[in-house]
Amino acid sequence: MGKYRFPNKDSFFEDGILPFRQPTTNVKEAFEDAQEAVPLLSDIANYIIQTSKDSLICTGHDTTLTNKSLRMGKMKSETRLRAKAIEEKGDISKICDIARGTIDGSTPEEIAALSAFLDMAYWNEIELPGGARIIDLKNRFEEPTLTDYSSVKAKIAVPLSGKTGRDYHIVELMVTHKGFEQDIKNQNKNRFHRNSHETYELEREIEGRFKSEDLGPEISKKLGRYIRIARKTHKDLKEKHGLNRIDYKPFEKFFEIRLEIEKEEQAKTKNKPETEIG
């Protein structure tokens, strides 16, 4: 099973090696691990919300971020897992969204703060509550999908108690803009993503055919139509909500300074002489 090496050696994960797949290919075992990981994901998400809220306040921005900004997604059922495993050629270990949650931001600044924290934690190998670590991060506000849809998706390896015989489980945490998502939902007939599973599955199917070059003229025509409709919808709504002009710099600077302060404090603690007893 593949691993991705991080140089940090003091991680929960032995020798700083973080996984990018689930530790099991068994559906029932993956489901059991996800059940244990759900409350841990909630703790991690709320920590991210609070830390991002601090950065917004310290940089002079209003914010409505609270623990109510977190929506915990319904766990994939064992039946759905088996169906999805077929899509992955039977490899359940590739499915990393069995346990999942979404943080809703309400302004471009909240999206920027949440994204900047996740980016800082990912690239600096910061341990999250419980020793969890971000192992993959995609910011689609910076690099939108084919249809110009945008969100942030993080895969997080969460340490488990070991009672199931496995040490970790990978969960998914997304960051979305609440107004953007709601407006897309209201225009459901034009949707390509979220709350329109039929068109979402169609996109997956067409992308798969693109890769295999199995794409006839009728499918190509249908694809073009869906892309044009969805892209215009998403582009117009991002313009409406100011999501084409997200300024990450104030929050990147905030977390950069915070990280330096933490490193200095850790160095002082490490170099502080031990007090003699007696």
Tens of pLDDT, residues 237-273: 999 999 998 999 999 999 999 999 988 888 887 777 6
Please tell me which residue, 248 or 188, carries the higher pLDDT value: 248
Domain at 3-253, CATH homologous superfamily: Beta Polymerase, domain 2 (3.30.460.10)
pLDDT tens-place string over residues 199-245: 555 556 666 655 555 566 776 777 777 778 888 888 999 999 999 98
Which has more confidence, 56 or 273? 56
The token pair that represents 230 in the structure block: 């969805």
Q: Quick one: pLDDT at residue 15?
A: 57
Give the N- to C-terminal CA distance of the chain in Å, as an integer.
53
Question: What is the per-residue pLDDT across 80-125, written as a single tens digit (0 to 9) for each?
Answer: 888 877 776 668 888 999 999 999 999 999 999 999 999 999 999 8
Sheet of 100-105, strand order: 70-72, 100-105, 168-177, 152-159, 133-139
Task: Decide: pTM greater than 0.75.
Answer: yes
Question: pLDDT tens for residues 7-30?
Answer: 444 455 555 667 888 999 888 899
Helix (H) or strand (E) holding 100: strand 100-105
Domain layout of the chain by residue ranges? 3-253
CA distances from residue 71 to 23, 33, 152, 174 in whole angstroms, order as listed? 26, 20, 14, 10
Neighbours of 144 (CB within 10 A): 18
Residue 278 binned pLDDT confidence (cut-offs 50, 70, 90)? very low
Residue of 144, 158, 109 whose CA lies nearest to 233: 144
Residue 58 or residue 165, greater confidence: 58
Average pLDDT of span 116-143: 94
Helical (H) or strand (E) element with 3? strand 3-5
152 and 173 Cβ atoms separated by less than 8 Å: no
